[in-house]
Amino acid sequence: MRLDSDMISYDAPKPRSLITRSLAGASTRPFWLEDAQRPVFPDGPNVPTKWDLLVVGGGFTGLWAALLAKEADPELKVALVEGERIAWSASGRNGGFVESSLTHGQENGRVRWPRDFDTLERLGIENLDQIEATVKRLKIDCDFHRTGSLNFATEPHQAEELFALDPEKIAPAKVLTAAEAQAEVNSPIYKAAWLDTRTNANVNPAKLAFGLAKAAAEAGVEIFENTRVLGLGKDGNRVGVLTNRSTMSVGRVVLATNVYPALLKRYRPFTVPWYDYALMTEPLSKAQLKELGWKNRQGLADLARQFHYYRMTDDNRILFGGYDAVYYPGGRVKARYDNRPATWEKLARHFLITYPYLEDVKFTNMWGGPIDCSTSFVAFFGRGLDGLAAHAAGFTGLGVGASRFAARVLLDLVFGRTTELTELEMVRKLPLPFPPEPLATIGIQTAKWAADKADHEGKTNLILETLAKLKLGFV
Ligand SMILES: Cc1cc2nc3c(=O)[nH]c(=O)nc-3n(C[C@H](O)[C@H](O)[C@H](O)COP(=O)(O)OP(=O)(O)OC[C@H]3O[C@@H](n4cnc5c(N)ncnc54)[C@H](O)[C@@H]3O)c2cc1C
């Protein structure tokens, strides 16, 4: 079928002067972290201390683990240590999409965990419902809205794939024609869309993380910032922990350190850092909003393997990110990788192609951050120190919602409970590790090239098929 918008793609030309102008003056600080309400927690402790449970890492995974543990047992002495500031890394820099999927999308889940897929879908929706309920119960002011999502076909072959779907099988999600998609959000590049009202919420991620930290502290969790764990080891039937401040003796330890080097060294080969980048516009004017449509403020993305994601804030800005995630040879986390002008320019160009009538809009912030990529695209779980420590990482860019699920798994594992969650194959089995360098760089760059080619050509290729057979990436 030929669509009016067939000819418009992200390869369309745009004057460079427009792109430079739109980015001029943008700050390289993550927009969400400019929040004045950011709480401050003390450093320390500077003397040896004892805790029943220590949580390492002050992002979503660690915050949920500390809060859930304390709420379940108010007598438990719980501490959380964060090497820098609460939510300074991925948890404060992301797009704020709270997705229900625990499997990084249905296709990935169906192929990798066929036995558990339906259970994982149910647990994912329950997890999102419980996040919403917690936000309400604790009155966390974090702009949480159950907006649903719209995934757009921006290439003709994607539209054809959507139109071939059986409406009954995909209900309550549905496929929109180009005209219907453009009536939701006005862009000449949209050729069709997949609308799902249940599976996504949008949030201001930093406000959510700060709210969780405040709630945990009010419940009695001791939170320490600028407190880095340097090492841990078994000490009798407890765990001895060395920090940059002092030592701790802890009953159990939850390791929620994400992309940073795993404290249980055996889990280091299971993640590599990918850098993802985003832009934030200034607030749109009333006239611009009218032209845009987007009344329902869904979370938006396109249907490619390498996709853009974008959403609106409560003060009518647009966050536009993704597409050009970068793996830097060597696989290290480095502050200088947070800045990548070439990617910001590419994103600005794609933004202007998507919304040509927003030519005058300026970006106020442009930033980046590391994503903990795993070969299964979801978090894996590991134990150590004779079961007194549990570790999770590997969310691969979809951890805002899944981190709460991971926190529950971590607590089950570290307290030795057998539950529905610990019986899941996804929890019990580790994914394949990444090979050492330089093989990792060669493999990842090849996979990225193959994914880009498949996105443009509308068909898979030998490299992707081989990786899928090996359970090493895009299915
Ligand atoms: C640009 C970008 C956009 C994204 N967009 C989305 C999105 O829209 N939706 C989505 O679901 N996901 C998204 N993600 C991914 C999501 O943000 C993460 O999966 C999630 O925040 C992970 O939370 P976390 O707590 O596991 O990790 P983090 O937030 O990284 O927290 C880990 C913490 O551990 C601390 N730490 C590490 N080692 C030590 C140590 N030895 N001692 C003490 N502290 C330590 C670190 O300082 C860090 O603060 C995005 C990520 C990025 C970078």
Q: pLDDT of 143-190, one tens digit each?
A: 999 999 999 999 999 999 999 999 998 999 999 999 999 999 999 999
Same domain, 313 and 179: yes
Mean pLDDT of 396-423: 98
By the 8 A CB rule, do 101 and 405 touch? no
- The residues facing 389 across adjacent strands are 253, 384
Mean pLDDT of 295-313: 94
91 Cβ below 6 A of ligand 1:
yes
> How would you classify the pairing of strands 389-393 and 247-255?
parallel
- Domain contains 298: yes
96 Cβ below 6 A of ligand 1:
yes
Same domain, 321 and 443: no
pTM: 0.95
The three-state (H, E, C) secondary structure of 301-361, written as one string = EECCCCCEEEEECCCCCEEEEECCCECCCCCCCCHHHHCCHHHHHHHHHHHHHHCHHHCCC
Last residue of a domain, one of 323, 339, 364: 364
The 8-class DSSP code of residue 380 comes to E
Closest CA to 252 of 415, 58, 393: 415
Same domain, 311 and 224: no
- The residues facing 48 across adjacent strands are none
- Tokens (6 digits) for 358: 């927003």
Same domain, 169 and 292: yes
Is the pLDDT reported for residue 475 higher than 70?
no
pLDDT of residue 187: 96
Same domain, 249 and 359: no
pLDDT of residue 474: 56
- Domain contains 322: yes
- Domain contains 394: yes
Same domain, 225 and 192: no
Q: Ligand 1 centre and the CA of 332: distance in Å?
A: 15
pLDDT of residue 141: 96
Same domain, 319 and 221: no
- Domain contains 34: no
The pLDDT tens digits for 34-87 are: 977 899 999 989 999 999 999 999 999 999 999 999 999 999 999 999 999 999
- Domain contains 44: no
Same domain, 104 and 246: yes
pLDDT of residue 458: 72
- Domain contains 142: no
- Domain contains 141: no
Query: pLDDT band at residue 466, thresholds of 50, 70 and 90?
Result: low
Work out the percent of the chain whose per-residue pLDDT is above 70: 95
pLDDT of residue 433: 96
- Domain of residue 446 covers 439-469
- Domain contains 282: yes
The pLDDT tens digits for 15-31 are: 999 999 999 999 999 99
Is the pLDDT reported for residue 345 higher than 60?
yes
Same domain, 117 and 212: yes
The pLDDT tens digits for 112-155 are: 999 999 999 999 999 999 999 999 999 999 999 999 999 999 99
473 Cβ below 6 A of ligand 1:
no
Query: pLDDT band at residue 360, thresholds of 50, 70 and 90?
Result: very high
Instruction: Report the distance separating Cα 301 and Cα 149, nearest Å.
Output: 8
Is the pLDDT reported for residue 467 higher than 70?
no
Nearest ligand 1 atom, CA 371: 53
By the 8 A CB rule, do 450 and 461 touch? yes
Please choose from 98, 241, 257, 374 the residue to mutate so as to test ligand 1's pocket, defined by most ligand atoms within 8 A of CB: 257
Same domain, 321 and 225: no
Name the average pLDDT for the chain. 94
| Whether residue 45 has a cis bond before it, omega within 30° of 0 | yes
Work out the percent of the chain whose per-residue pLDDT is above 90: 85
Which ranges of 138-204 would DSSP assign to H, the alpha helix?
156-163, 167-170, 178-184
User: Structural domain tally of the chain?
Assistant: 3
Query: pLDDT band at residue 405, thresholds of 50, 70 and 90?
Result: very high
pLDDT of residue 443: 81
Same domain, 287 and 304: yes
Instruction: Report the distance separating Cα 427 and Cα 392, nearest Å.
Output: 10
By the 8 A CB rule, do 354 and 152 touch? no
Assign residue 320 the CATH number of its domain: 3.30.9.10
Assign residue 82 the CATH number of its domain: 3.50.50.60
Q: What is the DSSP string of 16-35?
A: HHHHHHHHTT-BSS-GGGG-
Instruction: Report the distance separating Cα 51 and Cα 79, nearest Å.
Output: 7
- Tokens (6 digits) for 247: 């030592």
Same domain, 285 and 388: no
Q: Ligand 1 centre and the CA of 59: distance in Å?
A: 6
pLDDT of residue 1: 37
- The residues facing 178 across adjacent strands are none
More confident call, 254 vs 446: 254
The pLDDT tens digits for 211-230 are: 999 999 999 999 999 999 99
The amino acid occupying position 464 is: L
Please choose from 300, 400, 409, 410 the residue to mutate so as to test ligand 1's pocket, defined by most ligand atoms within 8 A of CB: 400
The amino acid occupying position 473 is: G
Q: Ligand 1 centre and the CA of 159: distance in Å?
A: 33
Is the pLDDT reported for residue 3 higher than 60?
no
Last residue of a domain, one of 324, 342, 364: 364
Nearest ligand 1 atom, CA 276: 1
- Distance linking the first and last C-alpha atoms of the chain: 27
